[in-house]
Amino acid sequence: MTADGSVTTQLNISHARVEDGGLFSCVAHHADNSIAHHDRLNVYGPPYIRTLPPLKVQSGQSVTLRCPYYGYPVREIAWEFKGKEIIADTTTQTNRFKRFTNHTSFSKEIYGRKPKLRGRRQSPTITDGILKIPKVFKNDNGALYSCIVKSPSGEMAKRSFLNCLWLRLLS
């Protein structure tokens, strides 16, 4: 601890190997307070993805998954669900059952027959390789999400995570 009350920490890795790379975190706790710093150590080498322990998720919960990869450089981090690549959908959807007719300065709504709609599943989003699943459903039980890391030279690593386990709330 310094005279002004601050603390300085340092991480030294001698003879770094590719498997030493990855995301590192330093977390300081004091009473009920905590502060964290996260940073990535990139070591040149082919991509590889570490294993994660099984994750149990309650139906209706949201989940954020960070791919625990190492290797550098990395060209792309992609995710799959049930073997199909997750593509971030940035378009907004309109109600397909409303039709509009334009008449100069006003629009007249014409409503067609509306079928009964089930709740629409929110799409997962990917930001900087981090997968955010807004809501896990019980029909996802046993489903796998897979992370794929690709290097510029064409090397690839893939690993599956989140064997969705549906848990009921106990009252």
Cα separations in angstroms, 151 against 68, 155, 156: 15, 5, 6
Confidence of residue 113 (pLDDT cuts 50, 70, 90): low
**Residue 73: cis peptide before it, omega within 30 degrees of 0:** yes
Cα separations in angstroms, 22 against 50, 65, 108: 10, 15, 57
- Residue 107 scores a pLDDT above 50: no
For residue range 13-63, what is the model confidence (pLDDT) as tens digits?
Answer: 899 999 999 999 999 898 999 999 899 999 999 999 999 887 777 778 888
Full set of structural domains in the chain with CATH: 45-167 (2.60.40.10)
Amino acid identity, position 136: V
For residue range 51-98, what is the model confidence (pLDDT) as tens digits?
Answer: 988 777 777 888 888 999 999 999 999 999 888 998 855 443 333 333
Q: How many CA atoms lie within 13 A of 90 on its CB side?
A: 2
List, in sequence order, the alpha helices (H) in 4-67: none
Taking the model in full, what pTM does it have? 0.69
